[in-house]
A = this chain, B = another copy of it.
Amino acid sequence: MAENETQADSRERLLDEAEILFAQKGFEGVSVREITRAAHCNLAAVNYYFGNKENLYLEVFRSRWMPRARRIQESFRQSLKGEGDQSLNHIIQCLALAFLKGPLSEAERKCHHQLMAREMAQPTEALEMLAEQIMRPFFRELTDMIRPLIPEGIHEEELMLSAMGIFAMILYFGFGRVAVTRLLGCEYDDALTKRLSGYIADFSIGGLQRLNGEMHHGG
């Protein structure tokens, strides 16, 4: 084997193009023909390498989405370690930034969040995999991180919901950017992303602190 390009890269090209197309149009919205055309390989290649279309979809999550999710998480941990400040403010700011600007290109991030949003709206086998291997561990890590920084009596569920509320906004402004720009009346450029990031951080921190206060001072 060895040697020049376009050889055994068909499998990789298929995964690359499939992820983009699945993110843009959804599983049912893309045909195998469209994917193989984009990847410059034969129609039968999907079945040759992955057995069927559904397996290709799952493999996209295994070999593309999950590693990227881990990179985002790692970027979050690194930016936390970088400074001594471990306040709630700092943690959430780093969290929002890691997911909204993070270590990814604009195209990658858009693709990443769209796929996630689609799985949430219409879960498949893939979501079970992500929930188990990516999301639940990270939520646990996150709640463990936050717990010592807030008043004691708070319920675990509140904590979980808080973390999910943050991701709600991240996902919303990520996957719904077409609608967001249509409503804001301005383009989704780098500046807007930065402002969104700061806004989400502020909003989340405010929400968390209010939750803390409510828990203790009644309401």
Q: Mark A180-192, 1 if CB is under 8 A from B, else 0.
A: 1011100000000
How close is A209's CB to chain B, nearest CB, in angstroms? Answer: 6
On A, residues with C-beta under 8 Å from B are 25-26, 28-29, 89, 93, 97, 114, 117-123, 127-128, 131, 135-136, 139, 157-158, 160-162, 164-165, 167-169, 171-173, 175-176, 178-180, 182-184, 194-211, 214, 217-219
Q: A93-B218, A131-B179, A201-B218 are in contact. List 15 more A-B contacts (CB 8 A).
A: A28-B29, A89-B218, A117-B117, A128-B182, A131-B183, A139-B183, A161-B199, A168-B172, A168-B173, A169-B169, A198-B219, A201-B217, A201-B219, A202-B211, A206-B207
Q: Could you say how many copies of this chain the assembly holds?
A: 2
Residue of B28, B118, B121, B197 near A28 (CB, 8 A) is B28
Residue of B176, B182, B202, B208 near A214 (CB, 8 A) is B202
Q: Is the interface of A mostly helix, strand, loop or mixed?
A: helix
Query: How many Å lie between the Cα of A160 and that of B89 in the bound state?
Result: 23
How close is A23's CB to chain B, nearest CB, in angstroms? Answer: 10
Closest B residue to A130 by beta carbon equals B179
Query: How many Å lie between the Cα of A183 and that of B132 in the bound state?
Result: 9
- Judging by beta carbons under 8 Å apart, are A202 and B217 in contact? yes
How close is A105's CB to chain B, nearest CB, in angstroms? Answer: 20
